[in-house]
Amino acid sequence: MEFQFEKEVRSDKEGLDQLAKLEEKSRELRSETLKLDFTQTNFFDAHLCSGLGAVLTQVDKNSNKIQFEFGTEESKIENTLKRNAFMYPFGRGFLPDRYGTTIKYKKFKADKPLEFKEYLTKHLFNLKDMPEMTEGSKKQIFKSLIEVFNNPSLHAGCDHVFACGQYYPNEKHIDFCIANLGRTIHENVKDYLGSDFSKIIDIKSLNTPIWWAIQEGNTTRRGLHPGGFGLSVLKKFLGKTGGRLQICSKNEFWQEYWDIEPSAKRVSHLSSSIKGTIVILRFQVTNS
């Protein structure tokens, strides 16, 4: 199977739709070869490697081979993917990050939150231009990111979580992405709400499954584990600091912008449906 990426793969509806199409089309591949064609692509948002890595892990798990076609030896796209260590597991090597703008791609076992904590400390919170925050706020954000990491093992029933990020100094923001290919938010919310689902969820009024999931205190966890604060805390922080929150699950793409005037909330639906959830956080930098 061959999949050709478009001219640009950005952190928007069109870019997420490409990842969803790839996941949907490759879902049933068994003992075949998947060829990813980047020859027509001149831009790829590096933090989206989290979503791409999740899809390719599923492809590899199903005994398929994965090939990359970039067109030229000095491909800008291949170099981007080498700098954040995405290509290394595929035997394509890596390039040094001379400018200190990469939050490297990493695949985690879903039951290893300590490794994710170390990763956050080393690669995200050590960035010199992360938004200023009090120690209390920093602990809250840290705890919230850990809850987002833990959600797949507690809610989604998947084995791995993927993270990656990129610092864009010219645009003065940091994008950080966490992805998994477990159960969708829609599936979890529908199972949890049961007969109340149709009473609470109303797509036309933007009361979508993702909307429900980011309300403070809402959680589909059962038992003694507290939850329901990770995404809502992150949402509040990003709102106060002029950031951005994007969440993609199934065919729903939820976006909230506080980096534009006036702030905006948008919900769109992809042409394909992707398993699991992709969460993208945009932090506005403080010094640049």
Give residue-wise pLDDT tens across range 43-79: 999 999 999 999 999 999 999 999 999 987 779 999 9
CATH 3.30.565.10 for domain 2-284, yes or no, is yes
Percent of the chain's residues with pLDDT above 70: 95
C-alpha dist (Å) from residue 156 to 179, 211, 235? 11, 17, 21
Tell whether the model's pLDDT for residue 276 goes beyond 60.
yes
| pLDDT of amino acid 155 | 61
Q: Taking residues 204-225, what's their average pLDDT?
A: 79
Tell whether the model's pLDDT for residue 288 goes beyond 50.
no
Percent of the chain's residues with pLDDT above 90: 63
Tell whether the model's pLDDT for residue 168 goes beyond 80.
yes
| pLDDT of amino acid 226 | 53
The residue ranking higher by pLDDT, 246 or 264, is 246
Q: Taking residues 150-164, what's their average pLDDT?
A: 82
| pLDDT of amino acid 117 | 94
